Amino acid sequence: MSAQAAATSQGIASLAQPWLLGAEQMGLPAAGEAIGLDRPVGTMVALEAAILDALPASAGQAALLDAGAGEACGLTLPRSPLDETDLALKRGFDLMVAALLVFLLAPLLVAVALLIRFTSEGPVLFRQTRGGLHGRPFEIYKFRTMTVQENGTAVVQARRGDPRVTPLGRFLRSSSLDELPQLFNVLKGDMSMIGPRPHAVDQERDFALRVADYALRHHVRPGITGWAQVCGYRGETRTEDALARRIALDLQYIERWSFWLDLWIMVRTCRAVLAPQNAY
pLDDT in the model for residue 5: 35
pLDDT in the model for residue 16: 43
**Which DSSP string do the residues of 211-251 spell out, in sequence order?**
-TTGGGGGGS--EEE-HHHHTT--S---SHHHHHHHHHHHH
Give the alpha-carbon dihedral of 197, 94, 249, 245, to 10 degrees: 10
* Residue of higher predicted confidence among 24 and 248: 248
Q: What is the pTM of this model?
A: 0.71
In eight-state DSSP terms, residue 32 is T
Q: What are phi and psi of 39, to 5 degrees?
A: -145, 170
Q: Residue 77: enclosing H or E segment and its boundaries? A: strand 72-78
Q: What is the pLDDT of residues 73-110, one digit of tens each?
A: 555 554 566 778 888 999 999 999 999 999 999 999 99
Rounded distance between C-alpha atoms, residue 162 and residue 149, angstroms: 13
* Residue of higher predicted confidence among 99 and 40: 99
Q: Band of the pLDDT at 149, cuts 50, 70, 90? A: low
Give the alpha-carbon dihedral of 257, 258, 263, 268, to 10 degrees: -40
> Roughly what angle, to the nearest 10 degrees, separates helices 201-210 and 240-255?
100
* Residue of higher predicted confidence among 169 and 148: 169
pLDDT at 255 over 70: yes
Q: 48-52, 114-118, 156-160: which range is least confident on average? A: 48-52
Domain boundaries, the chain: 2-78, 84-274
